[in-house]
């Protein structure tokens, strides 16, 4: 079966996901695109999705008879309305992170899906599909013994001028928030944020870098450095310290060079390249489940937990160094 997909938001990642569905993966076809900037939708149609009809709004696209499933890749603040529309239409929906920009918004999605009683939503937490993180999870299960601490880093070479301090949480740390609770099979109970001196490439509205300390229900202490203007590359690090040993996220494959009296290899500079294979696998998974009229993988509940945790981390930024408690609603049985 070929799942007919509509894409809402055809910017950087919308275009890339449309490309992979039409040109890399099996089982899906882009039949509809919409973007508030019509030129962006037209460019995606011209470049990667020639069969797509262009719709004026996301709501019309969701309602279209020939759209079987929806990809929400517009700006974060618009995700909730399209995910709710997809659930109301009974159509599987892949939503890029964040599921919603407020915990209440994510909760509304959880409640709508739970009321339906069937999973329709997959959130774009692609790291769960990255071969390195999958191997790390297996090492925790079979080799390191129970985890005690996690040391992680999320470094971007640069971010746009409009990127401000809370975005380090909502836009960037959110990947660690999801993947670390999945790796540890645990949940968070508190967050703290510490700031060293501001790096020279930062600006008045961005305190960069910062360190987030998360504590889990099982007593694991996690520290994540977020440094979004690190300049030298896109660098994701994760080390688990367990009872019997440690395990590190593998580096992406890179040719080792001996040049000019130096042993060296290149570091990637773009998230698109760092997680290219993971994006392929997550969307292949989405197509497979959508063909059966459902969704698997990171759920609305995971999106809700990420939203609650993000809010606590932003509150912790404002209370520099002081802990902020993280409290969840009860988990509906659909997500147990
Ligand atoms: P972008 O700005 O390049 O593209 C977003 C597009 O959505 C723009 O073309 C904009 O005109 C359109 N748009 C905004 N509101 C809309 C609406 N109501 N209806 C239709 N179109 C609308 O942004 P980018 O980088 O593609 O990010 C999009 C989403 O994907 C964000 O939520 C972001 O957090 C997420 N993302 C996820 C990544 C990952 O690693 N999983 C990587 C990059 C982005
Ligand atoms: C971007 O939106 C992403 O999701 C990337 O994976 C992340 O590394 C980056 O910091 C975000 O801005």
9 lines ligand 1 (CB under 6 A): yes
Name the residue with the closest Cα to ligand 1, atom 41: 124
Ligand nearest to the CA of 97: 1
156 lines ligand 1 (CB under 6 A): no
Span(s) in the chain for CATH 3.40.50.720:
3-127+277-299
pLDDT tens, position by position, for the chain (336 residues)? 999 999 999 999 999 999 999 999 999 999 999 999 999 999 999 999 999 999 999 999 999 999 999 999 999 999 999 999 999 999 999 999 999 999 999 999 999 999 999 999 999 999 999 999 999 999 999 999 999 999 999 999 999 999 999 999 999 999 999 999 999 999 999 999 999 999 999 999 999 999 999 999 999 999 999 999 999 999 999 999 999 999 999 999 999 999 999 999 999 999 999 999 999 999 999 999 999 999 999 999 999 999 999 999 999 999 999 999 999 999 999 999
97-155: pLDDT as tens digits: 999 999 999 999 999 999 999 999 999 999 999 999 999 999 999 999 999 999 999 99
Distance CA 6, CA 60 (A): 10
**CA neighbor of 173 nearest in space, from 155, 151, 157, 148:** 155
* Residue pair 220/241 in contact by the 8 Å Cβ criterion: no
Q: How far is the CA of 289 from the centre of ligand 1 (A)?
A: 23
303 lines ligand 1 (CB under 6 A): no
271 lines ligand 1 (CB under 6 A): yes
Model-level pTM greater than 0.95? yes
Domain 3-127+277-299: CATH superfamily, name plus number: NAD(P)-binding Rossmann-like Domain (3.40.50.720)
Distance CA 336, CA 93 (A): 20
- Pure H helices in 24-119: 38-47, 58-63, 79-89, 103-116
| Cβ-based burial of 321 (10 A; exposed 0-12, middle 13-18, buried ≥19) | exposed
The residue whose CB lies within 8 Å of the most ligand 2 atoms, and thus the one to mutate among 161, 271, 276, is 271
Which atom of ligand 1 lies nearest, measured to the CA of 8?
20
155 lines ligand 2 (CB under 6 A): no
10 lines ligand 1 (CB under 6 A): yes
Q: What confidence score (pLDDT) does residue 310 get?
A: 98
Span(s) in the chain for CATH 3.30.360.10:
131-269
Domain 131-269: CATH superfamily, name plus number: Dihydrodipicolinate Reductase; domain 2 (3.30.360.10)
* Residue pair 5/28 in contact by the 8 Å Cβ criterion: yes
| C-beta neighbour count of 25 within 10 angstroms | 19
55 lines ligand 1 (CB under 6 A): no
């Amino acid at each position: 079966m070929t799942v007919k997909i509509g894409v809402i938001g055809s910017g950087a990642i919308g275009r890339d996901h449309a490309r992979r569905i039409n040109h890399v993966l099996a089982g899906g076809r882009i039949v509809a695109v919409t973007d508030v900037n019509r030129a962006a939708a037209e460019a995606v149609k011209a470049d990667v999705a020639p069969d797509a009809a262009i719709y004026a709004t996301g709501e019309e696209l969701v309602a279209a008879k020939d759209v079987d499933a929806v990809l929400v890749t517009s700006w974060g603040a618009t995700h909730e309305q399209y995910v709710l529309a997809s659930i109301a239409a009974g159509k599987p929906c892949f939503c890029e992170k964040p599921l919603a920009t407020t915990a209440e918004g994510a909760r509304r999605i959880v409640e709508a899906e739970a009321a339906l009683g069937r999973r329709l939503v997959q959130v774009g937490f692609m790291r769960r599909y990255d071969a390195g993180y999958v191997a790390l999870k297996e090492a925790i299960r079979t080799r390191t013994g129970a985890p005690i601490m996690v040391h992680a880093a999320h470094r971007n070479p640069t971010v746009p001028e409009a990127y401000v301090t809370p975005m380090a949480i909502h836009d960037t740390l959110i990947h660690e928030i999801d993947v670390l609770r999945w790796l540890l099979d645990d949940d968070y109970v508190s967050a703290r944020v510490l700031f060293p001196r501001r790096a020279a490439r930062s600006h008045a509205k961005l305190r960069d870098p910062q360190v987030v300390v998360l504590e889990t229900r099982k007593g694991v202490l996690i520290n994540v450095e977020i440094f979004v203007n690190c300049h030298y590359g896109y660098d994701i690090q994760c080390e688990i310290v367990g009872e019997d040993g440690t395990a590190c996220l593998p580096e992406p494959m890179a040719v080792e060079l001996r040049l000019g009296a130096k042993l060296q290899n290149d570091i990637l500079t773009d998230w698109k390249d760092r997680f290219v294979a993971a994006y392929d696998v997550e969307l292949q998974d989405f197509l497979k489940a959508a063909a059966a009229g459902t969704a698997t993988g990171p759920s609305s509940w995971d999106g809700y937990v990420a939203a609650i945790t993000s809010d606590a981390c932003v509150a912790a930024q404002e209370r520099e160094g002081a802990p902020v408690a993280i409290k969840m609603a009860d988990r509906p049985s659909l997500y147990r």
